[in-house]
Amino acid sequence: MHDHIIRGMAGETQIRFFAVNCTEATRKIQEIHELSITTSVLMGRLMAAALMMGYDLKSPDELITLKINSDGAVSQIILTASNQGYVKGYINNPKVEVPLNEKGQINVAGAIGTGVLTIIKDIFGGMPYSGQVEIKNGEIASDLAYYFVQSEQTPTAIGLGVLIEPDGYIRQAGGFMIQLLPEAGGEVVDILERNLEKLPNLTDLLDMGFSIEKIVKEMILMDLHSEVKASQDAEYHCDCSAEKFEQGLSLLDKAELQENLDKDEDVVVICHFCNTKYHYGKEIIAKHLAEK
């Protein structure tokens, strides 16, 4: 089954929800960046969140970026997503592994340490919006819930998960995001809280064959009359190209370009998001040198 995202309404428009199965995308980023078990779980959780938040954007030209800057072994992470279901990501220390936490679980928080989570929305036709919160937990879901309360005043229940084998094979990855709208009443909140308390582990349910739609409609939002309003395939997709990176050659100074030309060496540029290498030979170097 292809990765996909859904969004909808429940509780007679008192709740809106998003959910995603991003197993293939998580496998893809693991392969591209040669992730460890810890960073596979970390990036899978973040990708699930980015895909759901990206699906809330209004235009294909808009983007959402999640950034983590911290003092941990993994100190820089960037993920970008669109409302077309595309996501891509970069992590500065992909192979880092840390010991399990005191509960015997994969220690995502230990890899991140302390720092800040920044959310940037590039809105088509407007100025980018940026919100930032201190990383309180490091497990991602609770940090994003804190962001929604602090920056958007929206109470949000978030579940993010990656089910991974000891050898690193990713069995399942996905997430859900349930947001209470201003008109949400106490009865709706009580039902939602009861459902969430009884909910088994999300990725275990996916591994048992339950679809993300069934999990949301029949378990998380049981008795809340939910309706899926839209769905979208999702995938790990980098939109880099030789043409885009060539534009960056104009940022190199004249001496650097001349040195490559004299040594008859290509300028090599590597995309951080997909690790594709682009080589620019003497003709292209000479062209940009002449423009200086």
Q: What are phi and psi of 204, to 5 degrees?
A: -65, -40
Rounded to a whole number of angstroms, the distance between the first and last alpha carbons of the chain is 51
Within 10 angstroms of residue 45's Cβ, the number of other Cβ atoms is 25
Domain 4-236 CATH class label: alpha beta
Tell me: the pLDDT tens digits for 151-173? Answer: 999 999 999 999 999 999 999 99
127: pLDDT strictly greater than 80: no
Average pLDDT over residues 207-233: 96
Percentage, residues of the chain above pLDDT 90: 77
CA nearest neighbour of 54 among 20, 26, 79, 82:
82
Structure tokens at 230: 């839209």
Average pLDDT over residues 212-221: 97
Fold of 242-290: CBS domain Like (3.90.1280)
Answer whether 261's CB lies under 8 Å from 285's CB: yes
Q: Assign 37 a pLDDT band (cuts: 50, 70, 90).
A: very high
20-34, 63-77, 276-290: range with lowest mean pLDDT: 276-290
pTM of the model: 0.93
State residue 65's pLDDT score. Answer: 97
State residue 1's pLDDT score. Answer: 65
Answer whether 205's CB lies under 8 Å from 56's CB: no
Among all chains, which residue has been given the structure tokens 């999702």?
Answer: 234
Cα 118–86–82 angle (5° rounding)? 50
Tell me: the pLDDT tens digits for 221-264? Answer: 999 999 999 999 999 999 999 999 988 888 888 888 888 888 88
DSSP code at position 273: T
125: pLDDT strictly greater than 80: no
Higher pLDDT, 100 or 165: 165
Average pLDDT over residues 167-191: 94
Report d(CA 1, CA 22) in Å as an integer.
Answer: 10
Domain spans, the chain: 4-236, 242-290
**Four-CA torsion 175, 180, 184, 186, nearest 10 degrees:** 70
Q: Assign 285 a pLDDT band (cuts: 50, 70, 90).
A: confident
